[in-house]
């Protein structure tokens, strides 16, 4: 007689029901039926499946109850939504474009204020000018920068124009500009994207220059004339910042040194330094708020009724996910009705999409582990009971 037949005989003698064995986690009814079909009748299989489904639903309900947001969680949710909305409209919206002529006057006053102390302390012994050497006075009192020069560029076939020169001169690069733009200011030169340099005289492209020699001259002044270098850096910083929000803006970092045409094309579609910087700020501030809320909510676990850290983290992630979804949805609706697209929170939208994927994945994983653990413990007890029959 087989073990299954022995088990069935013992069941009949004792007048009891067949106990359900432990089996691997599965949601497939066909697999359950296949597992039991050798030892259970069709009616018993149906009852076993119904029991499994009932227990599965009970555990799912328990998981939902234990991960449901409490009143305290609701307070954190409201706080998170408020902070995200304030960030969207007060800290990280796209700045409006400004008139280039207006920025010129602003540059003059800012530069005069920042270099006044340098000018007073500067020894005039180094004020003579010449090739590869800009006078300190010209650095401080001439608010224009040499790499802004367009006049005379046709004689050298540079193709510089009012809307193109920013993509073809390295001084306008928001990163490379701090090297080449500063060098140009200190040496009265202009350096194009292919590292070719030109002397600037009377605000015109005058003649070709040696880029290596211009760089050497800059390094010499770094060592022996740091005040002039400081003034040039201040001038470079002010010029870049003033150009960032003009209609033509400035190119995406480094890209101009690779392909000015690509840099210009991308800028036409909004991929420029100022807009990318704004999107980055939006994403950074959004993530910072999420981190702060998560840390504050984490402090509640010591006094919370839920002692399972993973289940508590599910609640934390729900707060962050819901707050991001609410803030992003409200922002999209606001921009749609007001048509004020400068307020669109593109960086926050990206963070919300990332959280939508990562948080739902985490919650599903924790739920699966919770269900599997509780079902396994239930059927482990059933298995031990059934094992007593086999032991005989």
Q: Between 296 and 22, where is the model more confident?
A: 296
256-286 pLDDT per residue, tens: 888 888 888 888 777 888 888 889 999 999 9
The mean pLDDT value for 183-206 works out to 93
Q: Is the pLDDT of residue 342 over 90?
A: no
Q: Rounded to an integer, what distance in angstroms lies between the CA atom of residue 80 and that of residue 86?
A: 10
Q: Between 391 and 131, where is the model more confident?
A: 131
Asked if 193 and 181 count as a contact pair (C-beta separation under 8 A), the reply is no
What is the CB-side half-sphere exposure of residue 313 using CA atoms within 13 A?
Answer: 14
3-state secondary structure (DSSP) of residue 98 = coil
The pTM of this model reads 0.71
Q: Rounded to an integer, what distance in angstroms lies between the CA atom of residue 322 and that of residue 294?
A: 13
33-50 pLDDT per residue, tens: 555 555 666 776 777 777
Question: Which of 151, 152, 142, 220 lies closest to 185 in space, CA to CA?
Answer: 142
Q: Where does the pLDDT of residue 21 fall: very low under 50, low under 70, confident under 90, or very high at 90 and above?
A: very low
| Range of weakest confidence among 151-165, 166-180, 224-238 | 151-165
Q: Is the pLDDT of residue 133 over 60?
A: yes
């Amino acid at each position: 007689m087989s073990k299954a037949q022995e088990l069935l005989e013992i069941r009949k003698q004792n007048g009891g029901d067949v106990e359900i064995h432990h089996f691997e986690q599965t949601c497939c009814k066909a697999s359950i039926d296949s597992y039991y079909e050798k030892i259970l009748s069709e009616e018993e299989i149906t009852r076993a499946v119904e029991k499994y489904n009932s227990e599965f639903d009970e555990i799912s309900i328990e998981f939902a109850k234990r991960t449901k947001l409490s009143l305290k969680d609701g307070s954190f949710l409201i706080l998170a939504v408020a902070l995200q909305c304030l960030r969207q409209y007060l800290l990280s919206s796209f700045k409006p474009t400004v008139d280039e002529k207006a920025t010129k006057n602003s540059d003059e006053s800012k530069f005069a204020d920042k270099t006044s102390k340098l000018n007073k302390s500067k020894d005039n012994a180094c004020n003579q000018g010449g090739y590869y050497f800009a006078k300190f006075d010209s650095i401080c009192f001439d608010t224009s920068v040499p790499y802004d020069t367009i006049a005379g560029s046709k004689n050298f076939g540079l193709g510089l124009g009012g809307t193109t020169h920013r993509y073809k001169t390295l001084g306008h690069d928001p990163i490379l500009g701090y090297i080449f733009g500063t060098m140009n200011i200190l040496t009265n030169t202009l350096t194009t994207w292919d590292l070719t340099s030109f002397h600037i005289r009377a605000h015109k492209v005058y003649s070709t220059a040696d880029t290596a020699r211009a760089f050497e001259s800059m390094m010499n002044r770094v060592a022996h004339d740091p005040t002039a270098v400081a003034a040039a850096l201040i001038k470079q910083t002010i010029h870049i910042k003033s150009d960032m929000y003009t209609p033509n803006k400035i190119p995406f970092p480094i890209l101009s040194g690779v392909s000015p045409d690509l840099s210009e094309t991308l800028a036409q579609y909004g991929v420029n330094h100022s807009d990318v910087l704004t999107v980055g700020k939006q994403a950074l501030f959004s993530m910072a708020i999420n981190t702060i809320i998560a840390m504050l909510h984490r402090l509640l676990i010591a006094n919370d009724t839920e002692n399972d850290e993973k289940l508590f983290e599910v609640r934390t992630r729900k707060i962050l996910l819901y707050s991001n979804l609410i803030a992003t949805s409200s922002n999209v609706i606001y921009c749609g009705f007001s048509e004020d697209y400068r307020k669109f929170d593109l960086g926050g939208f990206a963070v919300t999409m990332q959280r939508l994927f990562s948080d739902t994945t985490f919650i599903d994983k924790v739920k699966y582990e919770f269900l599997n653990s509780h079902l396994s413990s239930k059927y482990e007890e059933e298995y031990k009971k059934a094992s007593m029959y086999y032991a005989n």
